[in-house]
Chain A
Amino acid sequence: MPVKTVRRRYIAFKVEGEASKRGLEEAIRGSVERLYGLNGLWKLEPTLIEFDEHRRVGIVRCNHRWLPWMRAALTAITEVEGKPIALHVLRVSGTLRALRRRLVEGEGLESV
């Protein structure tokens, strides 16, 4: 019987500056591709799960093996749609549920 071997990591991040969900999605994929190429893009599988434009907090999913690489790609983002921004990772979790719970509890760099 086939066993599911792909494990995910969910990364909550805070955006400093103005950004839309669409622009952010493109910026994240663009950053991964710029740093690691097409090969990196399929390995990391970056997916923006959600982005609250009001609180400027988002969650991105990636393959668990490539978490530091994903983190680097987020750190390397300096602008979205021509506007300067900075991304700061708040929390990392293996499940979306745990991550959301921790964000509600206020753990992480919430006030950044």
Chain B
Amino acid sequence: MRRFIDLHLRPRSRGEMEAMLEKALRLGYGGVAVAGSQTLEGLEAPKGLDIVSRVDLKPKTAGALKASLRRVRTLYVVVAVECRSKAVARQAARDHRVDVVYFPPGSGLWFDDAEARLAAQTGCAYEINLTELLALIAGRDAHGLRRMAEGVWNAWRRDVPVILSTGASNRLEMREPRGLASLMTLLDIEPEDAVEMVSTNPQGIIERNRGRLSGEYVAPGVRIVKQGGGVDAR
């Protein structure tokens, strides 16, 4: 059975977070990633819902991004970067420590082909947030929608996974997973392919990063399979 994941919830309070987690389970999600200032410590997860930690980095320069990554990479399962400048976007796409990049509307940036080529080498995914998509629809921003569609096409051409999340900060911004996927028809994505964006693709990121944080991970392509016994030098 398909497992749906919402990789981007950003509740503003503890109470809202608990309500959103309950709702995610009722909507049919099997997993969520929670970003924002709310800590997951001491949280009782609803049964059947897998909760992972996520951090959204919003650096102004490529240098600031590198410094932030050194600090947070081992603390969160999912590391996302909000790209507000070309330099940050390029650095994020070429850095192995970044899992997800997204482009806020109004930044004038999109997931271009050069970005996609870099992301394909590092396993970084391109994320579309429902809140951003709905803002484009509400504003009848055809240009913004076109850029979003171009981002998806570039990602597909280069085999970069595309993630579809809600980016919800309250319960009313949450949507059921198949409804979320259906919105991709607006960008000319087939419904079956769109469903992968809310299930298989985010699940792959979570599994990969849990492996990396497990202690067996050394570097991309290198992990500890077995601990060797100590050699007696005497």
Residues of A within 8 A of B (CB): 16-17, 34-35, 68-69, 71-72, 74-76, 78, 84-89, 109, 111-112
Contacts and interface: CB of A to CB of B under 8 A. Distances in A.
Interface of B: 23, 26-28, 134, 137-138, 140, 171-176, 178-180, 182-186, 191
B186 A72 contact: yes
A70 to B, nearest CB: 8
B27 A112 contact: yes
Contact of A72 (B23, B138, B179): B179
B179 A35 contact: no
B137 A76 contact: yes
Contact of A71 (B137, B171, B172, B178): B178
Contacts of A78: 134, 138, 172
A14 to B, nearest CB: 9
B27 to A, nearest CB: 6
A74 B182 CA distance: 10
Contacts of A34: 137, 140
Contact of B182 (A16, A68, A86): A68
A76 B134 contact: yes
**Which of A17, A69, A78, A86 is the most central at the interface, judged by chain B CB atoms within 10 Å of its CB?**
A86
B166 to A, nearest CB: 10
B134 A89 contact: no
B179 A84 contact: no
A112 B26 contact: yes
A-B complex: 4 closest residue pairs judged by Cβ atoms = A75-B179, A71-B182, A72-B182, A68-B191
Contacts of A71: 178-179, 182
24 contacts: A16-B171, A16-B172, A34-B137, A71-B178, A71-B179, A72-B183, A72-B184, A75-B176, A75-B182, A76-B183, A78-B134, A78-B172, A84-B172, A86-B173, A86-B175, A87-B179, A88-B176, A88-B179, A89-B176, A89-B178, A112-B23, A112-B26, A112-B27, A112-B176
Nearest to A75: B179
Contacts of A86: 171-175
A111 B137 CA distance: 28
B175 to A, nearest CB: 5
Contacts of A17: 172
B225 to A, nearest CB: 44
